[in-house]
A and B are shown apart, each in its own frame.
Chain A
Amino acid sequence: MLVAQGVVKSFGACRALDGFDLTVSPGEITGLVGHNGAGKTTFVEVVTGLVRADAGRVSVGGIDVRRDPHAARRLLAVAPQELALYVSATVRDHLRLFAALAGLRRAAQARAVDQVAEELQLTGVLGQRVGLISGGQRRRTQAAAALVADAPMLLLDEPTVGADLQTRTALLAAVRTRAASGAAVLYTTHYLPELADLGATLAVARSGRIIARGTQQELMNGLPGELRLQFGQAPGEHPNLPAALQGRASAVDGEVRISSTNPPGDLAALLAAGCAPVSVDVRRPGLDDLYRSLAQEIPDAA
């Protein structure tokens, strides 16, 4: 559904996209992750035709977005990163507008509005002005405007930023439903757990290009997490760790942190050496660990 090949976009001296390649198939949710400035939002703007690429090709459903941006837009629904709502309009006004722009007739509009409102738990505030509803409800309204017309390609740019648990849960469920019905979803985020909930594949962006692509399991496999231990000793004092662990340990904020690909094994080694922590926290590998690992593998991309 979405194919991007060698996309280049510069803003003055800044090369925001530098050979960006990405494919998203119908029914697939792709999590586009990367640090700020990696090119995620610029790529979304290129796909929507808001920004014209300097080079490369992007097509949506086979339509070249540069050659025919309007035809390509008809296949897209977008939830931008920043809230873009009319404070004096009601939630229903927003949903009706985007349903109408997508071409839904009056009866279908009303049905679609009611259904997406129910999905995103907005039914109770449909008649309220956006300026008077909560931040979470605004965030859901923004997402609902993108989801109301069942577009075949969804671009959701950090849709859960600042969202509460209720908003996040409702939104993720709605996205899963769309993907299950065949929509291709490009979902940019900084939160890996969300992508795990969505069952998304990962595309890691850095410096304007995709540096890794695959399932979370494939990409995170073998990455070290962290054992975070407290020993109840005075600040600055640490137990004598087994020699095998000392090279991977550091003292931070009164706790000992051990980089580990095998936390149970390392914990067992600690206990066997007579080091008895008063608290243990196991941190799974996250995006930063993935970036660090990729930076070591592909240093020239940084």
Chain B
Amino acid sequence: MLLDSATFYDPVACSAPVGAATWRTPLSRIGAIARHNTMLILREPGPLASRLIMPVVFIALLHPLYLASQGRAGGASQAVIATLITFSLLAMSIPGTSILTERVWRTWTRRMTAIRPAELLAGKAVPVIAALLAQQALVIGFGVVVLGLDVAWPLLLAVALLVWTLALIGMGAAIGVLARSLSELSVIYDLGGILLSSLGGALVPLAAMPGWARHVAPASPGYWAVSALHAALGGDAAGTLRACAVLAGIAVACGALAAARVGRGAARSATL
């Protein structure tokens, strides 16, 4: 079992185990965590499947309402944006739950003994990014194929979706690190998801909302996501990038908060 002495450690250099059998880079560790988390998600596919199916059911049933109120072009884009933003905000539970369950199982602390906090967060983010992008691709695909949604500049839309996904990951990670129980997490995501998407003008256009709601809307990440998607669907590069910059700021701020708390040991299971 033991490596022979030539490939064992070098106590004088005080370095990692050396020799042909070992390779240690941040990327390799992130890859190992990402593979493991993908496996964990696929072994219990129920939550992921529901996050993928629910928005399709929602848009399939409610799109006539949007088409009737806003006409074919405006209705299609509002139906897609409403569904995408609302359900992607609810899907913040995927990164959050993936962190909090590990804290509850105490496996988070266990992994923390082997790698850097940022590597752990990055490794966990990879499969979750894929899941969130898959959810968004399903909704956009439904919009294009069934509702005749017109995407002026697909690449711009892809950038907006990717930045929004990163913001979701950052917010989800921060909540997963701060929450102390799964029920607390569930309340935050359910209430927060509906509140942020509604305030952001996803479910109902801001113009149709009360004045006070229009004033506080920019405080909601949902508002910037709606702005980015509207601009991207309309081919407005400047508008898309402006909204994306705000979303990127939210992603960085929340990600840094999560990494800092993890790095200081605040996410240990003992803190639950």
Contacts and interface: CB of A to CB of B under 8 A. Distances in A.
B110 A80 contact: yes
Nearest to B16: A74
Interface string B234-260: 000000000000000000000000000
A50 B116 contact: no
A261 interface: no
B268 interface: yes
Contacts of A76: 113
Q: Give the interface residue-count category, chain A.
A: 35 or more
A84 B106 contact: yes
A105 B1 contact: no
A150 interface: yes
A105 B31 CA distance: 12
Nearest to B3: A150
A50 B112 contact: yes
Contacts of A181: 2, 8
Given A61-B11, A151-B17, A108 B110 contact: no
Interface string A84-109: 11111100010001101111110010
B31 to A, nearest CB: 8
Interface in A19-49: 26, 45, 48-49
A208 interface: no
A144 to B, nearest CB: 10
B32 to A, nearest CB: 4
Nearest to B107: A84
Interface stretch (A112-120, A231-239, A263-271, A277-285): A112-120
Contacts of B8: 150, 152, 181-182
Given A63-B14, A75-B9, A52 B39 contact: no
A93 B37 CA distance: 11
Given A63-B14, A75-B14, A102 B40 contact: no
Contacts of B40: 86, 88-89
Interface in A139-155: 145, 147, 149-152
Contacts of B5: 182
A93 B39 contact: yes
B50 interface: no
Contact of B32 (A85, A88, A89, A97): A97
Contacts of B69: none
8 contacts: A52-B264, A84-B110, A97-B32, A102-B22, A116-B1, A119-B1, A152-B8, A182-B5
